Amino acid sequence: MRDMTMVTSAQKANGTSSIPLNPLTPEQELATRVRLAQALQMSLDPNEVLSLFYQHIQALVSLSGILFKFGSGASDLKIGRECLHHCDYRLTTDEGYLGEIIFSRSKRFVEAELITLEFLLSSLIYPLRNAIRYQTAMRLALLDPLTLLGNRVALDSALHRELQMAERHQHELSLLMIDVDFFKKINDKYGHHRGDLVLCEIARGIQSACRGSDITFRYGGEEFVVVLGKTGAEGAKIIAERIRQQIAETQIIHNGKSICTTVSIGIATRHSNEREHISDLFERADRALYIAKNSGRNCVISSDAITTSS
C-alpha cells in the first residue's frame, strides 16, 4: 500500500511492472490539474466527488473501479467494479488519516501510470476531505449530542418526507410520543449526570424495541418521538407496548443500587384515506400522551381510542 500524505513518496503497489510510458508534459499537467480541480469543486458529496474524479482520470489512466474506505469507519464508497489488479493508497492530511483509496482493473498497473495517479490524487485529497468534513457536520447538526438520536430538525425533515410518501402511496403512518415518568425525581435524587445516563439507556432501549425501518428522535428533555412508516394503529400499539415493556425491565446500576424507570406513550395514526397536517398528528399524539400520564403512567394510549370513547 502506498502512503499518501498530500501525495508524497510511496513504495511499489502490488502487481506493478516497469514498462515505460510517456509522462505528461508540464502543459498537460497544468491543464489536467485545472480541469480536475474545477470539477471536484462542484460537489460536497463524497460519493459525487469520487465519481467526478473517476470520470476525469479515465483518459489518462484507465480504471475499472475505485473503492474508498473512510478512516472514520463509515460505510465504504464504491465506484465501478473491483478487479484482480489494484493499487492502494493511504490518504493522510495534516489533520490526520482520511481513509484508504483503492484503484483496480483487470490488467496490471505500470510505473508511469502509478506516477500519474499520484499526481492526480494531489487534486483529490482536499476536495474529498472538505466533502467528508461537510457531510460529517451536516450529520452532527441533525443529531442530539447526548443520545445520538435525531434531533428536532431531523424530526421535522423526516416527518415531512414520510407524510408526503404516505399521502402519495396511500399508506398509514403512525407517531409515538414517549415521555419518561417522574424524570425530575431521578435528576433530584441522583444528579443530572446520572439522569443523562438514564436518558441514554432509554434511547438505546427504544431503538432495540423498534424495527429497522422505524426512526427515533429525541424531541427534547425527557421526551422522545418514533416515526412508524406504513404502520396502522394496531401495529403502532404493538411496538409501543414493546417499548414500554423494554424500558420497564431496564435497570441502571448506581452505587450498587438499581435505578428503574418507566415511560408513558401516546399514539397518533394518519389513516390511508385521510389528509392531515404534521401539527395535527403531533397534537393528537400529545393529547394521547397527556391522558397516559394522567392514567397512572407506564401505559400506552392511542388517539384512536380517545376518539372512539368520546
Q: Known catalytic residues?
A: 222
Q: What angle do CA 194, 298, 272 make, to 5 degrees?
A: 115
Spatial contact of 32 and 45, defined as CB atoms under 8 Å apart: no
Which is nearest to 289 in space by CA: 255, 264, 260?
Answer: 264
Q: Which residues of 172-207 are buried (b: 16+ CB within 10 A; e: fewer)?
A: bbbbbbbbbbebeebbeebeeebbebbbebbbbbbb
Q: Going by C-beta distance under 8 Å and a sequence separation of 6 or more, which residues neighbour residue 176?
A: 225, 226, 228, 236, 239, 240, 243, 265, 266, 267, 285
Centroid of chain to Cα 200? 18
**Grid cell at residue 166:** 404516505
Distance CA 129, CA 122 (A): 12
Identity of residue 309? S
Distance CA 155, CA 157 (A): 5
Centroid of chain to Cα 302? 30
Dihedral-angle region of residue 298 (phi above 0 means left; psi in -120 to 50 means alpha; beta otherwise) = left
**Grid cell at residue 33:** 490539474
Given the C-alpha cell 399514539, which residue does it identify? Answer: 267
Helices (H), the chain: 26-40, 46-57, 111-141, 152-169, 183-190, 192-209, 233-248, 278-293, 303-309
